[in-house]
Amino acid sequence: MKNPVARLLDSGNLVVSDGDHEKNNARDIIWQSFDYPGDTLIAGMKAGIDLVTGLDRYYTSWKSVDDPSTGSFIGRLDPNGFPQFFRSKGYDKWSRTGPWNGRQFSGSPKLNPDGIYTEKFVFNEKEIYYMFDPINSTSANVRLKITPNGDIKHLIWNHQKKIWMVYFTEMVSDCDIYGLCGAAGICNTNNSPRCECLSGFVPKSPEKWKAVDWSSGCVRETELDCGTEVGFLKYTGVKLPDTQHSKYDLKISLEECRRSCLENCNCTAYANADIRNGGSGCILWFNDLMDIKGYTTDGQDIYVRMPASELVFALILMLAFWRRKQKKEGKKLTDTNRFIINRNFACNRTTSETMALNKIETEDWELPLVDLKRIVKATDNFSQDNKIGEGGFGPVYKGKMNDGKEIAVKRLSKNSGQGVDEFRNEVSCIAKLQHRNLVTLLGCCTEKGERILIYEYMTNKSLDSFIFVDQSRNLLDWPKRHHIINGIARGLLYLHQDSKLRIIHRDLKASNILLDHEMNPKISDFGMARRFEGSQTEGNTARIVGTYGYISPEYAIDGVFSVKSDVYSFGVLLTEIVSGKKNRLFSHPNHSLNLIGNAWKCYNEDALSGLVDEAILDSKNQMEVVRVIQTGLLCVQEDPIDRPVMSHVVLMLSSTMKLPHPKKPGFFMERKLRDADCLLSNSNFSSGNQLAITTILPRE
């Protein structure tokens, strides 16, 4: 090449071609930057392998946010068996996408929920690669970036502000860690503990399993014997096992796939390669089933080989259990019409509420029904001596069951503004959610028109009883407060990103954070929560609910709520935990700003010590305290676009990465509290079904 020519194309690709023979087509390109992605994939760039030339296009993280040298994480296609992508940390497998199933990678959430670009996975004899393209020339500019800590950020260019905004973040949760549950183990983020063995398998090392070390995996209770009959047990909605050692045929049906597995004694499982149009193609596994993750909507089906005797035994057990249950509970079902929640069930607050409560629906949200007599006995007939609190829903009582288990009983007050909708909403939002930082719902009761929820009892009650009470505030040193802050953040991250549905709490505040005997925080009270499905990212309502001082500006003014509404409330809560003061009741001798306004003022004047609670002023973790304050201010920025999502908040709180400077917060202007507002605040007013907007008055 005597006359090389370098050109930067509109696509962002830097190409070098021979100027003497240049014909402006791909065959004349000698070198191109698109073949060496660095830490970023952009539209039109391939991630994968050219099987003809051997070119391997993979992406690598930076060492840090300001050091572009090669970091610890690599995203790379593995062409062995049925192709899949791995993220490696150093030389170790860190996480896995699962194979492409025609719509998405089976182990990853849908990467393009709003359809702003098209995805393509090419798999033929010449090349295997993943690529995305904008839908049209006017679509948003998108890029994917692997961060120094291994997350994948989806960024969209904001033409108005001339900045890249985070659209979506793929974070590696515990169940995404490669092989967390070992061979034949399945990980589910909604379960605690996370790992369990597939049916017909038991822990290989029961001692390690009890110690929450699942790496040794599971082994079959009954070994497969080629001379005996076998069948298959179907698992629905999972991330398919590691396909490195699998075999595949893209042309046969699922039934032919089953027969192929039956004919080979070493075949352990099979599944469709493509789930579109009813399914097609075949993947066969012959080794241990490694790295399976449980899903609800994003995964696919797999059929695991089992001895016929195991399948028959399982069927007999299920039938016997069903018959015993019918015999034991048949009368109770007739008398009380067991209450089963369906997320599609809706009823209005009418005179037929009792009929609505007793209606049996499909079992999407099944929850144990507890007899009213047992609850009355446990609470000593709802004795005032057992009353431990009261909110917009009604009073809460401490109870003790016959087996000694302590419970918290939440009873809807007859005078409450809340009704069946809120009762059903709370149950449907939390009934099947399991996270160490969410309160556990144990059961409910709807007898005789009652609406009662039964929760695990929290020994240390709510967070507000510590941080806002002088006698108790000194019990919370900085390590305890930091532990509580991180726990709340992880609970919110689960609700916003990792749970089966995206859930917006809409009433996050100190009194809705409960503390167990080890001071672990648990988010409670989901009566105002809303669920988002599919690609939905925000909602709108004419009825504003929540609590004074915690409501975001866009929600209070326009009725628009999203995950960023909860982020705002979390930012207020952070500032309250650090300062030991309430946002709305805060007063200062030199100005009339609320707590958020005071935090903003202290930050700009580099005087944050004036904000921090005296109980933690002697803390040796001053930099950590400052970091929390700055994170809180980032969360309460006026424009929701500027606020971080919870995955970023968790990272900010747990790392030493440099934080951006926050912009002006919302609802921080000077104001004068009216007498009526003070009365509401002093009574710990929660809006329930009423309008609740923080009063904003101009500077006098």
Where in the chain are the domains? Answer: 36-172, 176-314, 339-456, 464-682
State residue 560's pLDDT score: 84
Catalytic residue numbers, as ranges = 507
* pLDDT tens readout for residues 448-471: 778 888 999 999 989 998 998 887
Contact indicator for 455, 410 with CB cutoff of 8 Å? yes
Residues 6+ apart with CB under 8 A from 125: 51
User: DSSP state, 674?
Assistant: -
Q: How far is CA 666 from CA 331, 391, 603, 640, in A?
A: 56, 26, 15, 10
Closest CA to 335 of 421, 427, 446, 424: 446
Q: Among the listed ranges 424-438, 559-573, 651-665, which one has the minimum average pLDDT value?
A: 424-438
- Residue 252 — very low, low, confident or very high, per pLDDT cuts 50/70/90? very high
Check whether domain 464-682 has CATH 2.40.50.140, yes or no: no
- Residue 343 — very low, low, confident or very high, per pLDDT cuts 50/70/90? very low
- CA 89 to CA 102: how far, in whole Å? 28
The β-bridge partners of 47 are: 130
0.75 surpassed by pTM = no
Residues 6+ apart with CB under 8 A from 320: none
The β-bridge partners of 452 are: 411, 445
Q: Alpha helix locations (H) across 270-389?
A: 308-336, 353-358, 372-378
Closest CA to 241 of 358, 42, 107, 86: 107
| Amino acid present at 203 | P
Q: Coil, strand or helix: which one is 471?
A: helix
Phi, psi of 207 (to 5 degrees): -65, -45
- Residue 473 — very low, low, confident or very high, per pLDDT cuts 50/70/90? confident
Instruction: Tell whether the model's pLDDT for residue 688 goes beyond 50.
Output: no
Q: For a pLDDT cut of 90, what percent of the chain falls above it?
A: 43
Can you tell me the mean pLDDT for 228-253?
A: 91
State residue 174's pLDDT score: 82
127-134, strands of its sheet edge to edge: 56-57, 47-50, 127-134, 117-123
Q: How far is CA 118 from CA 39, 47, 274, 330, in A?
A: 21, 15, 18, 53
Contact indicator for 579, 540 with CB cutoff of 8 Å? no
State residue 633's pLDDT score: 96
Q: Which residue has the higher pLDDT, 298 or 660?
A: 660
User: DSSP state, 585?
Assistant: T
Can you tell me the mean pLDDT for 6-20?
A: 86
Q: Among the listed ranges 413-417, 520-524, 658-662, 669-673, which one has the minimum average pLDDT value?
A: 669-673
- Residue 310 — very low, low, confident or very high, per pLDDT cuts 50/70/90? low
Can you tell me the mean pLDDT for 29-54?
A: 92
Q: Among the listed ranges 16-20, 318-322, 410-414, 544-548, which one has the minimum average pLDDT value?
A: 318-322
- Residue 3 — very low, low, confident or very high, per pLDDT cuts 50/70/90? confident
State residue 334's pLDDT score: 33
* pLDDT tens readout for residues 593-642: 889 999 999 999 988 888 999 888 876 788 899 999 999 999 999 999 99
Phi, psi of 202 (to 5 degrees): -135, 160
- Residue 30 — very low, low, confident or very high, per pLDDT cuts 50/70/90? confident
- CA 192 to CA 175: how far, in whole Å? 12
* pLDDT tens readout for residues 91-102: 889 999 999 999
- Domain at 339-456: CATH architecture: 2-Layer Sandwich (3.30)
The β-bridge partners of 294 are: 238
CA 21 to chain centre: 54
Indicate the helix (H) or strand (E) that contains 676.
Answer: helix 675-682
Residues 6+ apart with CB under 8 A from 666: 552, 553, 568, 636, 637, 638
State residue 678's pLDDT score: 34
State residue 351's pLDDT score: 32
Token pair belonging to 684: 């710990």
Q: How far is CA 69 from CA 31, 62, 145, in A?
A: 22, 6, 15
- Residue 141 — very low, low, confident or very high, per pLDDT cuts 50/70/90? confident
User: DSSP state, 309?
Assistant: H
Name all contacts of 253-258 with Cβ < 8 Å and 24+ positions apart: 253/279, 253/280, 253/282, 254/279, 254/280, 254/282, 256/282, 257/281, 257/282, 257/283, 257/284, 258/232, 258/303
Contact indicator for 599, 633 with CB cutoff of 8 Å? yes
- CA 467 to CA 461: how far, in whole Å? 12
- CA 580 to CA 468: how far, in whole Å? 6
Phi, psi of 75 (to 5 degrees): -105, 120
Q: Which residue has the higher pLDDT, 589 or 94?
A: 94
* pLDDT tens readout for residues 424-451: 767 777 776 778 899 988 888 888 778 8
- CA 170 to CA 68: how far, in whole Å? 21
Dihedral angle of Cα 521, 524, 529, 535, to the nearest 10 degrees: 40
- CA 41 to CA 612: how far, in whole Å? 43
Q: Among the listed ranges 246-250, 260-264, 483-487, 655-659, which one has the minimum average pLDDT value?
A: 655-659
Instruction: Tell whether the model's pLDDT for residue 353 goes beyond 50.
Output: no
User: DSSP state, 390?
Assistant: E
State residue 26's pLDDT score: 56
- CA 515 to CA 521: how far, in whole Å? 5
Mean pLDDT of the chain: 80
The β-bridge partners of 219 are: 202
Counted residue by residue, the chain has a size of 700
State residue 180's pLDDT score: 92
Instruction: Tell whether the model's pLDDT for residue 338 goes beyond 80.
Output: no
- CA 532 to CA 15: how far, in whole Å? 44
**Could you tell me if residue 21 is left (phi over 0), alpha (psi between -120 and 50 degrees) or otherwise beta?**
alpha
Rounded to a whole number of angstroms, the CA Rg of the chain reads: 28
* pLDDT tens readout for residues 498-540: 777 778 988 999 999 999 999 999 998 887 888 775 555 566 6
Q: Among the listed ranges 265-274, 364-373, 570-579, 591-600, which one has the minimum average pLDDT value?
A: 364-373
Instruction: Tell whether the model's pLDDT for residue 154 goes beyond 60.
Output: yes
Options 3.40.50, 1.10.600, 2.90.10, 2.60.40; CATH for 36-172 is 2.90.10
Instruction: Tell whether the model's pLDDT for residue 139 goes beyond 80.
Output: no
Can you tell me the mean pLDDT for 671-688?
A: 37
DSSP per position, 622-665: HHHHHHHHHHHHHHTBSSTTTSPPHHHHHHHHHS-PPPPPP-PB
Instruction: Tell whether the model's pLDDT for residue 109 goes beyond 80.
Output: no
Question: Taking the alpha carbons of 571, 575, 578, 581 in that order, is the dihedral positive or negative?
Answer: negative
Q: Which residue has the higher pLDDT, 103 or 226?
A: 103
State residue 699's pLDDT score: 29
State residue 686's pLDDT score: 37
| Amino acid present at 628 | V
Residues 6+ apart with CB under 8 A from 414: none
Q: Coil, strand or helix: which one is 158?
A: strand
